[in-house]
Amino acid sequence: MAPFIGWTRIEYWWVIVAAVGIEAAAIHWLFAVDWGRAARLSLVVNLVTAGIGAVAYPFLGMFLYPVLAPAVLGLSSGGLLVEAGVALVFVALFDWLVELALLALIFGLALRWYRALGFLVTNVATAALLYGALWYAQYIPPLKEDELARIESVYAEEIALVREAAEDMPGHGYYGYPWIDHAWRAAWVSRAEALEFYDLGFGIRVSPSRFHVMYVNDLHGGGWSVTARTQGDAVMIERLTRDTFPDAVYRYQVVRDVPGARDEPRPGEDPASVAVVGVFKAP
């Protein structure tokens, strides 16, 4: 998480410039100093907290993650943006404390409760700005309605097979090794090979937010990027592209919960959910 946030700060350099500017305005208004000094103080305290944070953030993450992860996953399904939001709350609090200490102890500015509160709001605002940049970096637009209709029309038979296989998979996928009934898998692969499948995958849920999916052809190599995604309760449809392949492909995933399975199964038990994924060339 720390490297990802650091990458975002570099990739979206305007976030750093904006944060320095916002904190300069806060120092000017809250501590009644002239604009020039406020700008210099903002730049210095941000450089110092960046240097301290480069060392401190990873250690804070190691100590806090085991404590916070169960609570966060209990309230949501997790994911990169959820973890980033929680991390940025603590980054804002840490930066606030360090910057206040620098302003008061090193630069001699007088602290008052309203100044401390106002500067906390400022740090939360800059953290929210960075979160917005993170969200923008991760945003994937939905598929258009006519594109969805075309996929469902052209690949109706293939989609029906994916749905049928997903309905039949509970009881044939396992947590641990062997993770799938190979004879069952081979029968479905044989049926898929007679149709227009580009690839076919079978998966089991390995965490509240992640599936382990094994493809028959491994999508003919890696390097794919998701350029559009539409997701419902049990179905996710994605458009994937890559530079070395002239056409897009569509990934159609159907998830089914396994009746009676535990949320945290032991090796050899049924996973909480299973998935079947069909991949088709763009029509």
Model confidence, pTM: 0.65
pLDDT given for residue 1 in this prediction: 46
pLDDT given for residue 9 in this prediction: 55
Domain boundary among 107, 138, 169: 138
* Cβ 276 vs Cβ 253: under 8 Å: yes
How far apart, in whole angstroms, are the C-alpha atoms of residue 22 and residue 32? 15
Domain boundary among 76, 103, 138: 138
pLDDT given for residue 247 in this prediction: 75
pLDDT given for residue 22 in this prediction: 94
Sign of CA dihedral 4, 5, 10, 15: positive
pLDDT given for residue 113 in this prediction: 92
Residues 121 and 150 in one domain: no
Domain ranges, residue 122: 2-138
Residues 259 and 149 in one domain: yes
Residues 113 and 204 in one domain: no
Residues 131 and 151 in one domain: no
Residues 126 and 179 in one domain: no
Residues 83 and 181 in one domain: no
Residues 46 and 67 in one domain: yes
Q: CB atoms < 10 A from the CB of 222, how many?
A: 7
Residues 156 and 134 in one domain: no
Domain boundary among 121, 138, 155: 138
User: Which residues, including other chains, have CB under 8 Å from residue 247's CB and lie 6 or more apart?
Assistant: 281, 282
* Cβ 204 vs Cβ 179: under 8 Å: yes
pLDDT given for residue 236 in this prediction: 92
Taking only the tens of pLDDT, the chain with its 283 residues reads 444 455 555 566 788 889 899 999 999 999 999 999 999 999 999 889 888 877 776 676 666 666 655 555 544 445 566 666 777 787 888 889 999 999 999 999 999 999 999 999 999 999 888 888 777 777 889 999 999 999 999 999 999 999 999 999 988 877 766 678 889 999 999 999 889 798 999 988 776 667 778 888 876 667 788 889 998 888 999 999 887 666 788 999 999 888 776 666 667 667 778 899 999 988 7
The tally of domains found in the chain comes to: 2
Residues 72 and 162 in one domain: no
Backbone dihedral angles phi then psi of residue 215, each to the nearest 5 degrees: -95, 150
DSSP string covering 203-223, please? Answer: EEEEETTEEEEEESSGGGSS-
Residues 110 and 198 in one domain: no
User: Which residues, including other chains, have CB under 8 Å from residue 152's CB and lie 6 or more apart?
Assistant: 159
C-alpha distances (whole Å) from 258 to each of 60, 122, 174, 262 are: 37, 47, 11, 9
Name the residue with tokens 């975002």.
8
